[in-house]
Structure 1
Amino acid sequence: MSGFKKFAVAGAGNIGRFIAEELLKLKQTGVVSSVVVLTRESSAASQSVTELAKQGAKIAIVDYASPSSLASALAGIDVVASAVSGEALGAQVLLAEEAKKAGVKLFVPSEYVIPTEGQTEGALGQKASLHKKLKEIDLPYSLYHTGPFADWIFTPYFGWDLTNNKVTIAGEGNAPVSWTTRRDIARFISHASTAFPREKIEWRTFRIEGDRKSLNQIVADYQAKTGIQLEISRESRAELEAAVQKEPGNFGKAVQLIWDNGGSLVGEPGQLSNTDWPEWNPTSVVDAIIAANPRA
């Protein structure tokens, strides 16, 4: 076991609330002794923060631009798990610096989704630069690459209007993609950070996936499992590339192009960290979609 018992989770939104919930489950069993959720004042009254407080989390309202605010919140913490959003990635630099000063022993950056090694531009470049920062200040990290969130991303914004049984496949749709639910990601992070020995988690990149399927495979499997016939539209690869060129800031189209380029695999099968926890048993992508889109 790592011996880590005191955790801070920075952010309680899209993935952070799941990480905090899984750590709080371990608190109930005595594996974890405390869970602190860092949140901005503007988010302190949000439903997710309120629910985490009810479950036993300590809520620390912080200013991510204030060293003293972060230092106070991080006093005595063993592990910081960052789940800040893309817009707040820059705040992780000061968060890491103050974590090091406070004696934090492990930092889990807000990585997730797409592997960031060697990236230099945009949000992925920001994430990669933080790895260097953590090495400079000698604060060990655990990186988690997971693929897109299978329980969150299949929405009309990304071409999946399941309420109306309509799906638009952008590109060829044949490239395999790594998919993992937020709950399964949180379970793995919480388990690894407590159950694994330190030498197995320090300076380690974990490549985990709940499932590996192309968009075309997902459509076929969803229809077979539910008996629902989907109306499929297709946007050609050329149309998708043109859309990204025309609107470089269109996040949805950019993500769909990454999928079609094969850029959302967390690694080759032999590189996966799933085998580090054989009992993990993550949810399949189709089961995640069905659970996130229940039928009356």
Structure 2
Amino acid sequence: MSTMKNFIIAGAGCMGQYVAEEFLKLIANCEGSNLTILTRSSPSGNAILEKLAKLGAHIVTVDYRSHESLVSALTDADVLISVIGGYEDKADYALADAAKAAGVKLFLPSEWGLYSRGITDGIYASHDLIHRHLDRIGVPYALFYTGMWPDFMFAPGYAGWDIPQGKITVWGQGNTPITWTTRRDGARFVAYLLTHIPAKELAGKMISVGGDHKTLNELAESYTSRTGKKLEATYLPIVDQEKILADEPPFSFQGILAYLLVCYDKGRADLRKTLPEGLANELWPDWNPKSAVDALLETYP
């Protein structure tokens, strides 16, 4: 059992709200003591933060430009978990420096997607830089990956899938397996991990979990089989996304999406193959993640 009791989460948006909720469930079950959420602005009027505060989270407003502000917020923290989207605003550098000064036992920088260690192209080049910074200053850290989020990636228009209209776009052949984990299941796993395994056993580890592994074609076929609703697929050449990737800024919407779509086609989204250690699902034998098609069916029954 882990001795870590005081948890701090930086960010409470797309992924962070789920991570916070899962920690609060464990704390209510006496598997932790405190959860603090760092926010850039006042929580007043923020529905997510107000909900989490009612569930027992401590909300602390910090200035990411102030080292002293962050160090003060991190004092006595066992674990710092970043769920800030991307590194282009340098927030994770500020958190890392403050974690070092405050003596945090373990830092999880913002990952949550595809394997990034040593990757120096596209959006993951920024991840490689923060890893180097963490190594340089000597902060104990672990990297946590979930693959793609099926409860997020198929919003109408986001990746060319418009399920309500029965039309989907597939870049490439659509036959390469992709690792899928819902945000809730990824949050459950990381909360369990940090409350059951000591920090010293997690430091330096790259931990990847996978709720499901399906190609885009398999996912579409499974959806049709379960619902009887046919999805009309349009197949487009992946080279078009490669051109976008070469021309667009890496952190633009088009640049991020193109990078992910190319990863899908090239097999870089299958965490069973890209992570040297393989999947770590066995660290929680009772984990029962939702399948990718079940996640789709929750949104598009």
Q: Which TM-score applies when normalising by structure 2?
A: 0.92
Tell which deviates more after alignment, 192-201 or 100-109. Answer: 192-201
Deviation of the 1:226 alpha carbon: 1.4
Unaligned runs of 5+ in 2: none
Match of 1:273 among 274, 280, 289: 280
Tell which deviates more after alignment, 198-207 or 182-191. Answer: 198-207
Q: What residue identity is the alignment partner of 2:130?
A: L
Deviation of the 1:244 alpha carbon: 3.7
- Output aligned runs, 1:64-103, within 5 Å: 64-86=64-86, 88=88, 90-103=90-103
Number of residues paired by the alignment? Answer: 294
Provide the C-alpha distance between the structure 2 equivalents of 1:44 and 1:11, rounded to a whole number of angstroms: 15
> Which runs of 4 or more aligned residues in structure 1 lie more than 6 Å from their structure 2 counterparts after TM superposition?
none
Match of 1:255 among 229, 254, 260: 260
Question: Residue in 2 aligned with 1:3?
Answer: 3
Q: What residue identity is the alignment partner of 2:201?
A: K
Deviation of the 1:169 alpha carbon: 0.9
Question: Residue in 1 aligned with 2:47?
Answer: 47
Residues 208 and 280 in structure 2, CA contact (< 8 A), matched pair in contact too: yes
Residue 238 (structure 1) aligned with residue 243 (structure 2)? no
CA-to-partner distance for each residue in 1:117-170, whole Å, 9 max, x for gaps?
112245312212222222223221121111111210012220111111111111
Q: 3-state SS of the aligned residue for 2:151?
A: coil
CA-to-partner distance for each residue in 1:212-235, whole Å, 9 max, x for gaps?
111011111111111111122121
- Pairwise CA RMSD of aligned residues? 1.8
Deviation of the 1:87 alpha carbon: 5.4
Tell which deviates more after alignment, 221-230 or 83-92. Answer: 83-92
Deviation of the 1:101 alpha carbon: 1.2
Deviation of the 1:97 alpha carbon: 1.1
The 3 A distance-change label for structure 1 pair 254 and 43 is farther
Q: What residue identity is the alignment partner of 2:27?
A: K
Residues 9 and 37 in structure 1, CA contact (< 8 A), matched pair in contact too: yes
Aligned identity (percent) is 38
Q: Which TM-score applies when normalising by structure 1?
A: 0.93
Provide the C-alpha distance between the structure 2 equivalents of 1:9 and 1:45, rounded to a whole number of angstroms: 19
Deviation of the 1:89 alpha carbon: 5.4
Residues 105 and 199 in structure 2, CA contact (< 8 A), matched pair in contact too: no
Provide the C-alpha distance between the structure 2 equivalents of 1:131 and 1:243, rounded to a whole number of angstroms: 27
Q: 3-state SS of the aligned residue for 1:267?
A: helix
Provide the C-alpha distance between the structure 2 equivalents of 1:121 and 1:241, rounded to a whole number of angstroms: 12
Q: What residue identity is the alignment partner of 1:277?
A: W
The 3 A distance-change label for structure 1 pair 163 and 60 is same
